[in-house]
């Protein structure tokens, strides 16, 4: 009994500490699932021993919810992200491919600032603000309604006499730079940590237990898109902005109609010049196709729409000194030189390492150890060295050369075009460790807490030497390790347990096949449906998949034919990993279908979804392996091309009959 009382007291103290770190300080030190486990344990103990229940237990707090109880909310429609581009040429290419896909001569755009804040959804029912949530994973977010109510520019009621039954909008919450600087002054005067940038301060305030904190941070919001609307849909993005404004919502400042891609490019360059004079952070310009019909026709990729791009501003740069150049061995054996820098702050973030990519890049830059260099940081991308300041050389600099042997396993290094590679594969400790971290990553099977450091330690202690060993870890062995207490051990073990059940795309991505990222993994899942079919696929089968070229097909086939990998996958299955598969059946199995012209009964997105649900693949250009073309009214060049190539053409009605 004494032990139970002690454990309850311990848990309450811990949970209160983490609530404070998360809500008040905006700096959580444990993951959501670690926190959830603590709360769950406390709840269970209190249920089993009600004699210890007290009113001040964090499980008993009314009003302010516990961190884990920020309810999850499904968005009215997915909150997608944007593809980033960096040059005028890329924008012109976007313009060209979009016109080709749409079969039109000319497209109008709306350009607007890309606000560097925190994305949220606001839902109004009959004109009243009823719900607001964070972006979360794009489909589900956290219910932060009360905090959003505390933002002065989130109206409680929409303007207008006849409010729509439903209006869900997407917007960006941000903190003005002046308020951010004030906040950091207060933070440091009170001996608290300062926030790295306005975005983090805004995000911390929105995901805070106490709406009072949100209010005190003086946040602002700008809305830029509809997620759902029960009224008559606008026909352009510009009309959407007008609708939002008429409804009393603040919209992205300075949005402008651009009649050509060149006008959008000019908008970008003009705004970039003004960037430092503004009182809020921008990281680029969002360029959206104005016509919503065109938007619908183009549809989306896995996570991005095809009708908009983020044309990013040039990254901010600073000068610092290269203290050393070291070599890292990556998951695929590539040796990457990394510059260790004298720490420097670039756009609010302290940087102490920057990638030098490869030997060609080192030669191109002419960088030596001891050099002063310009480093840049663009968003969340790894910082890189962009220029050597030769005038600052003292003569004591020394040049760098690639080691001849792998720094991790000593194997002779091989040169493969611009890369130096350690060929030892899973015989090289660095590559094994990297493959384990990759397998456990958030976008792969997602084992919370399985960080580089954890892998390093478990590997050094001889507890894991391959991915499948993760599933054989024993509580007693872990508890013997330095720094592993009950809590940490149980958290990791339960995270491992949870990861046993994983969707096929995440599992494929987690295997770390060269050239197979998240996007290709998702395509492979759709195409093959089961792991077994993918493992058995020949290079020719793989080449039949849209977006899979010879290099990717070869890499996938080699991976599954390699006996070490085959054994490792079999072992994973025998250790109880269950891949969630979806055998794809349907009328259109494996068929590639192009839509052209305007459809009457279906919207483009509905038509594409029907194709996918029936095992087919909607594609945007007519090629020799297109199976058929569905032609609506006013079909243009694609119809012509299909006729010339002798590809079957059917009407919308025939398409629907096919599926009936």
Positions marked active-site: 114
Comparing CA positions, the residue from 177, 196, 171 lying closest to residue 118 is: 171
Residue from the set 119, 133, 290, 499 that interacts with ligand IVH by CB under 6 A? 119
Cβ proximity to ligand IVH, 304 vs 530, nearer residue: 304
User: Could you tell me the smallest distance in angstroms from the CB atom of residue 74 to ligand IVH?
Assistant: 17
Report DSSP state, residue 24.
Answer: I
With CB under 6 A as the contact rule, which of the stretches 77-85, 211-219, 340-348, 400-408 interacts with ligand IVH? 77-85
Subset of 271-290 contacting ligand IVH (CB under 6 A): 286
Give the closest residue to 517 by CA, choosing from 299, 298, 303: 303
In order, the DSSP letters of 472-504 are: G--HHHHHTSTT--HHHHHHHHHHHHHHTEEEH
Point out the residue whose Cβ comes nearest to ligand IVH. Answer: 119
CA dist 8 and 187 (Å) reads 33
SS3 583: coil
Q: Report helix, strand or coil for 256.
A: strand
In angstroms, the first-to-last Cα distance of the chain is 66
Minimum Å gap between C-beta 81 and ligand IVH is 4
112 binds ligand IVH (CB under 6 A): yes
When asked if residue 617 is in the footprint of ligand IVH (CB under 6 A), the reply is: no
Distance CA 159, CA 39 (A): 42
Sheet holding 166-174, edge to edge: 128-134, 118-125, 166-174, 220-229
DSSP class of 270 = H
Asked whether position 121 contacts ligand IVH by CB under 6 A, the answer is no
> Which range, of 27-35, 110-118, 262-270, 625-633, touches ligand IVH by CB under 6 A?
110-118
By the rule CB under 6 A, 82 interacts with ligand IVH: yes
Window of 7-15, 200-208, 304-312, 318-326 that interacts with ligand IVH by CB under 6 A: 304-312
Site string for ligand IVH, 157-176 (x = CB under 6 A): ---------------x----
d(CA 249, CA 266): 27
User: Distance between CA 348 and CA 353 in Å, rounded?
Assistant: 15
- Report the b/e string of 1-30 with b at 16+ CB within 10 A: eeeeeeebeebbebbeebbebbbebbebeb
Give the nearest distance from C-beta 171 to ligand IVH in angstroms. 9
294 binds ligand IVH (CB under 6 A): no
Considering the complex, state which of residue 111 and residue 354 has its C-beta at the smaller distance from ligand IVH.
111
Task: Count the site residues for ligand IVH by CB under 6 A.
Answer: 15
| Minimum separation from the CB atom of position 152 to ligand IVH (A) | 20
Task: Give Cα 131 distance to the centre of its chain.
Answer: 24
Name the one range near ligand IVH by CB under 6 A: 74-82, 399-407, 487-495, 542-550.
74-82
Residue 115 contacts ligand IVH per CB under 6 A: yes
With CB under 6 A as the contact rule, the residue among 26, 164, 204, 305 that binds ligand IVH is 305
Of 67 and 288, the one with the shorter C-beta distance to ligand IVH is 288
Q: Could you say which of 73, 123, 203, 252 contacts ligand IVH (CB under 6 A)? A: 252
Instruction: Restricting to residues 553-572, name those near ligand IVH by CB under 6 A.
Output: none
Binding status of residue 114 toward ligand IVH by CB under 6 A: yes
Among 22, 70, 224, 311, binds ligand IVH (CB under 6 A): 224
Our CB check for ligand IVH shows the closer of 240 and 358 to be 240
What's the CA gap between 402 and 243, in Å, rounded? 59
**135 vs 419, beta carbon nearer ligand IVH:** 135
Helix ranges restricted to H, 120-222: 145-149, 177-189, 198-206, 211-216
The residues, ordered by sequence, that sit 6+ positions from 289 with a Cβ below 8 Å of its Cβ are 98, 107, 108, 109, 237, 295, 298, 307, 308
Can residue 80 be called a binding residue for ligand IVH (CB under 6 A)?
A: yes
Question: Exactly one of 81, 235, 350, 412 binds ligand IVH (CB under 6 A); which one?
Answer: 81
551 exposure class (CB count in 10 Å sphere: 0-12, 13-18, 19+): exposed
Chain centroid offset of residue 339 CA: 26
* Binding status of residue 244 toward ligand IVH by CB under 6 A: no
Expressed in percent and rounded to 5, the helix, strand and coil fractions of the chain are 40, 25, 35
* Binds ligand IVH by CB under 6 A, chosen from 141, 155, 225, 337: 225
> Which residue of 308, 542, 553, 584 would you call a contact of ligand IVH, by CB under 6 A?
308
Q: Does 75 bind ligand IVH (CB under 6 A)?
A: no
Q: By the criterion CB under 6 A, which residues form the site for ligand IVH? A: 80-82, 112, 114-115, 119, 172, 224-225, 252, 286, 305, 308, 310
């Amino acid at each position: 009994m004494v032990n139970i009382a002690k454990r309850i007291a311990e848990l309450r103290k811990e949970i209160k500490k983490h609530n404070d770190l998360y809500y008040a300080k905006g700096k959580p030190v444990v993951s959501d699932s670690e926190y959830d486990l603590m709360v769950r344990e406390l709840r269970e103990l209190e249920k089993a021993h009600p004699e210890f229940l007290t009113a001040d237990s964090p499980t008993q707090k009314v009003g302010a919810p516990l961190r884990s109880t920020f309810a999850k909310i499904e968005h009215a429609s997915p909150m997608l992200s944007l593809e980033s581009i960096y040059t005028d040429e890329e924008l012109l290419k976007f313009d060209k491919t979009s016109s080709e896909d749409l079969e039109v001569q000319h497209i109008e755009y709306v350009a607007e600032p890309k606000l560097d804040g925190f994305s949220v959804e606001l839902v109004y029912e009959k004109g009243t603000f009823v719900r607001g949530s964070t972006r979360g994973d794009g489909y589900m977010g956290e219910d932060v309604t009360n905090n959003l109510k505390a933002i002065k520019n989130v109206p409680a009621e929409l303007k207008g006499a006849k409010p729509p039954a439903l209006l869900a909008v997407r917007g960006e919450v941000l903190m003005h730079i002046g308020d951010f600087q004030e906040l950091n002054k207060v933070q440091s005067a009170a001996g608290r940590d300062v926030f790295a940038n306005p975005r983090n301060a805004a995000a911390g305030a929105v995901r805070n237990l106490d709406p009072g904190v949100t209010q005190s941070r003086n946040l602002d919001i700008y809305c830029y898109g509809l997620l759902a609307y029960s009224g008559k849909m606008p026909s352009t993005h510009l009309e959407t902005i007008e609708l939002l404004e008429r409804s009393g919502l603040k919209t992205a400042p300075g949005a402008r109609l651009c009649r050509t891609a060149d006008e959008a490019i000019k908008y970008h360059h003009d705004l970039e010049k003004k960037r430092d004079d503004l009182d809020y952070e921008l990281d680029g310009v969002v360029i959206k196709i104005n016509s919503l019909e065109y938007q619908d026709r183009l549809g989306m990729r896995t996570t991005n729409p095809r009708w908009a791009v983020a044309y990013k501003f040039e990254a901010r740069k600073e000068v610092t000194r290269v203290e050393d150049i070291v070599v890292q061995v990556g998951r695929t054996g590539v040796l990457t030189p990394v510059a260790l820098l004298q720490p420097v702050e670039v756009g609010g973030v302290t940087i102490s390492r920057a990638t030098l990519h490869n030997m060609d890049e080192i030669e191109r830059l002419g960088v030596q150890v001891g050099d002063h260099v310009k480093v840049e940081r663009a968003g969340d991308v790894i910082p890189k060295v962009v220029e050597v300041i030769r005038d600052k050389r003292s003569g004591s600099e020394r040049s760098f050369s690639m080691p001849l042997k792998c720094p991790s396993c000593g194997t002779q290094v091989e040169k493969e075009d611009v890369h130096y590679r350690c060929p030892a594969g899973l015989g090289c400790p660095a590559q094994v460790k990297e493959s384990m971290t990759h397998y456990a990553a958030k976008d792969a099977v997602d084992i919370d807490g399985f960080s580089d450091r954890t892998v390093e330690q478990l590997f050094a202690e001889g507890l894991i030497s391959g991915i499948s060993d993760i599933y054989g870890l024993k509580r007693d062995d872990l508890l013997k390790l330095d720094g592993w207490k009950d809590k940490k051990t149980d958290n990791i073990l339960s995270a491992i347990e949870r990861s046993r059940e994983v969707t096929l795309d995440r599992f494929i991505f987690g295997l770390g096949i060269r050239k197979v990222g998240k996007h290709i993994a998702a395509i492979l899942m759709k195409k093959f449906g089961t792991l077994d079919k993918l493992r058995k696929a020949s290079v020719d089968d793989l080449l039949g998949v849209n977006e899979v070229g010879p290099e990717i097909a070869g890499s996938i086939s080699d991976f599954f034919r390699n006996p070490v990998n085959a054994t490792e996958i079999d072992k994973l299955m025998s250790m109880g990993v269950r891949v969630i598969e979806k055998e794809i059946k349907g009328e259109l199995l494996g068929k590639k279908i192009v839509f052209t012209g305007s459809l009457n009964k279906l919207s483009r997105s509905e038509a594409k979804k029907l194709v996918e649900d029936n095992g087919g693949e909607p594609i945007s250009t007519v090629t020799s392996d297109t199976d058929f073309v569905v032609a609506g009214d006013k079909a243009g060049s694609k119809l012509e091309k299909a006729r010339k190539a002798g590809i079957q053409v059917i009407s919308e009605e025939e398409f629907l009959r096919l599926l009936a």
